[in-house]
Structure 1
């Protein structure tokens, strides 16, 4: 193989020298020294150099002298092929594995030939290629920095490692674009490089609680290689933010009579800080009077609940100041308005403003009998009232002014049919369930003389034996009057008539109170066989009413 055809090796020096050492057992041996430079990672069988040509030996001499490699700690890396007079790669050569960061890196060994003995030293310099990427020993770096850190604060970044040397080694660090840090690079005494993050802008945990950064380590090879480490900056909180309610005003509602512990609402506040700086304590601020006993707030959760007896009729709305305080003592306030919902817990109250317990039976339709006032302490539907009475009664309810009602006559009265009424007025609200109350009025119907006396017979007949004694009872007439009291008090009279030219009073008399008729004289059948007279019954009304009956 023509060594020059590989393009990867270089003969640096080839020389022969005579070792003039008389006392040496090898006196008279010819010794040569040759140096090659080859890149690492050449394939097995790649030509390092033409030994025969560079040492001025022919192939026959190599074969007859049984040329071979006889020394060297790393002689496994190279192979001498005497039949072709060349030195080739026998095993993959990794410069970093062989020499680490020592430069230059070389392999040295001897080639010996016999008959006559010749000893030649061969040095193969292993040239670095950019076959290693810079890397950081750890893949992720975590920094904790207080948001109160001062400008110019420095944070060292662990150095990257590149096993290559020279230009192929680590050359530079690059920081990913950001608004807070710059990167400053420094050199260690051994020439290695390290970098520091330098703070350029105040940190704000509330704006950026974490800052993801990347530092890239690049070498100088061609092509260039690079390695990256992720840097996560956690910003440590300081108490520089007060709590903030999520609403400037809260609105909630609760029904009256809600039992203690009833949930009303939850207020929320957030604190841009973290940890204990963000732990919020809720409270009411400066509650006055009885309101302090009405509601409670959980200092940890912000849950507001019922603590006392809420009465819509006493208070329809509550306004409370809220306070949120963090553990660092910073506070914020808000307001909550709690509307109390009415429960139908009050029955209507009926007040009799005016009532006449007696009315004449001839009172005209629409006559006002009573005026009542009805109030309900509840509101809206719970306070809307309807007044009713029994529809069978001759009355009706009329609304007048707000909350006022009139009880009026809706039919004509007849005392003789019904002389008294028990009128139950019921006031019912529109709640659910509805509540009601009632009051009963006793109304008497006063009498009007609208009924005349009525005899119990349409006519009367009586028999008298002649020669009777004067004063003898003849008969009794009876009349009744449906009216009452004086209007029903009946008096009886004989209607003035003539009997055979004589007034009727010459024959009979009548008791005006009892209606008893008596003979005034003795009757003679042969002179008078029959008397016809008219009795009048008259009541005590004004004007009086009367009726007549034939006897």
Structure 2
């Protein structure tokens, strides 16, 4: 048997032939035999990939060992010639550390950590080879799918650490750039604030945000803000980043000082010491530092036509009000003025308050007796008839006290009396009445000493002497009181002053006499000493005199030499010679 053309085992690996042998007889006989030809394989076929390109997707957070795809190839050969092995023939840099393929079954697995943000697309060539060196190559395309594994990154480009409280709404405080390397929804960022009052954050352009004010600020309410900016992406689950900005609110002088009270009243007792502290006004300013420094000023006004500054003064720093003078309740009972509180801002702000000072009375005035009038020389007596019954009104002591309140409450008491059993004085009204029937045995001359006391602490008093004549007719009274015109006490005092005056005059006379005699003796002794001494006498030359009237009666000039001692009565004059005309 001769092979006429090439065999192809892959097309037909076994051939069955029937061989017939014919003889030449007739009838012709034949014989057959079945010949089975098995075609042995030769490595004449290369492996062929089932797909020329494989595509697969894998999440970047997939774990190691994750199967990506399976590469398949076929080889028409059999036996060792058809045994296929797989390998990565070409891959990007670093891909061999990430991917591995099983050489027997072509399973491609993940052996490293993927990062979408670093490399998103891989193309790998996988070679399928048989043992004879024949091979085929297919391409595996791996797309890395993004997962939300990166929080937004906040980059502060500019920020203000302090702003004035009077900035307008819309003032830009901070500019930020937000970056999220993730893709699609995972890379979309929204920012929000924890402080939803006074501030807002807006997106100006792609990935740029600004923090701005959206309402007026007040440092006196909040002086510092800790603003937390939180930026979140839209991934599932969402990732976020935060940054806290500290913003100081600087002060503006927008608050005037405020007094603790709407008005003040203070009390001071009269007869005070000048410079006495009366009380203190206080005002507070909600601003800060120099804007909150309060000074107190006494506003110009007058009290009864006199400047109020002559009554009180105000300490500029402390607000303490001092009395400049000593007050007298009987002259002025109260007055008011205004105090201004001014801060140290520019321009300064101020407010004022009314202060009322009430003078409290002090028992500094004794009672004054208005009746009976006390005279120095004449005698005034009240007459009581001998027929007066019990309770007869003799007279009434009238007194006043210029003080006020209980300091002006007066009480009357009988201090001394010629006959204490005959008269009494009303404690409250000062009425002098008889307390028994007047009899003929009662003396005509009755002298009562009434003391008037106020109710102050300590109390003050005044004394009045009331002369009472117990008689029925005026001549009887006159005859009894002729030797009683002058009060004994008054006479005693007059005698004392006369003796004192005489003693003073005598003392002055004797003193003057001694001084005169001493001076005379001193002058006499001085003159004696100079007269008997050998002291030189200094001549004295007066100026020249000439005739100025032009009559020519004095044609010559004379010199006069005068010698004098201390005693002018013993002076000598010496006339000199005629001088020349020059």
TM, length-normalised to structure 1: 0.59
Distance 1:210 1:381 in 2: 63
- 2:127 aligned to which of 310, 323, 341: 323
Q: Secondary structure of 1:277's partner? A: helix
| Displacement after TM superposition at 1:227 (Å) | 13
Shift of 1:433: 2.0
**What secondary structure, in the 3-state scheme, does the structure 2 residue paired with 1:312 have?**
coil
- Aligned partner of 1:512 in structure 2 is 316
Q: Structure 1's 231 and 416: CA in aligned 2 closer, same or farther, altered over 3 A?
A: farther
1:480 is matched with 284
Q: Could you tell me how far apart the structure 1 residues matched to 2:261 and 2:294 are? A: 16
The alignment partner of 1:462 has SS state of: strand
Say if 1:215 and 1:369 are closer, same or farther in 2 by CA, change over 3 A: farther
Match of 2:335 in 1: 531
Provide the residue aligned with 2:293 in structure 1: 489
Which residue in 1 is equivalent to 2:235? 431
Cα distance in 2 for residues equivalent to 1:394 and 1:470: 55
Q: CA deviation digits over 1:36-71, x for unaligned, max 9?
A: xxxxxxxxxxxxxxxxxxxxxxxxxxxxxxxxxxxx
1:354 is the counterpart of 2:155: no
- Residue 501 of structure 1: CA displacement? 2.2
SS at match of 1:344: coil
Partners of 2:222 and 2:175 in 1: CA distance:
23
Q: CA deviation at 1:309?
A: 2.2
Which runs of 5 or more structure 2 residues have no equivalent in the other structure?
23-29, 356-582
Residues 214 and 530 of structure 1: CA distance in aligned 2, closer, same or farther (over 3 Å): farther
- Secondary structure in 2 matching 1:460: strand
2:171 is matched with 367
Matches within 5 A, 1:115-130: none
The one of 333, 338, 342 aligned to 2:137? 333
Shift of 1:303: 0.4
Question: Which residue number corresponds to residue 503 of structure 1?
Answer: 307
How far did 1:380 drift?
2.2
CA distance in 2: counterparts of 1:228 and 1:443, whole angstroms: 112
Equivalent residue of 1:382, what SS? helix
Alpha-carbon shift at residue 509 of structure 1 (Å): 0.6
Deviation sequence 1:351-409 (CA, Å, 0-9, x none)? 22111111211111111111122222322222222211125442111112322211111
Query: Which of 241, 248, 266 is the aligned partner of 1:462?
Result: 266
Cα 1:426–1:534 change in 2 (3 A) is: same
Instruction: Determine the structure 1 residue equivalent to 2:511.
Output: none
Higher fraction of helix: 2
Distance in 2 between residues matched to 1:531 and 1:319, nearest whole Å: 102
Contact preservation (8 Å) 2:195, 2:227 = no
- CA 1:213–1:489: 2 relative to 1, 3 Å: farther
Instruction: Spell out, residue by residue over 1:331-355, the C-alpha distance to the aligned partner (whole angstroms, 9 max, x if none).
Output: 1222212111222222222222111
CA shift digits 1:138-159 (9 cap, x unpaired): xxxxxxxxxxxxxxx54xxxxx
Pick the aligned partner of 1:546 from 331, 337, 350: 350
Report the CA distance shift for 1:490/1:349 in structure 2 as closer, same or farther (over 3 A): same
Q: Which residue does the alignment assign to 1:294?
A: 98
The 5 A counterparts of 1:223-302 are 235-287=39-91, 289-302=93-106
Partner residue of 1:314 out of 118, 127, 143: 118
Q: Does 1:446 align with 2:255?
A: no
Matching residue within 179, 182, 185 for 1:381 = 185
Counterpart selection for 1:395 from 199, 208, 215: 199
2:404 is the counterpart of 1:404 = no
Q: Return the alpha-carbon distance in structure 1 between the equivalents of residues 333 and 234 of structure 2.
A: 82
Q: State the distance in 2 between where 1:235 and 1:255 align.
A: 50
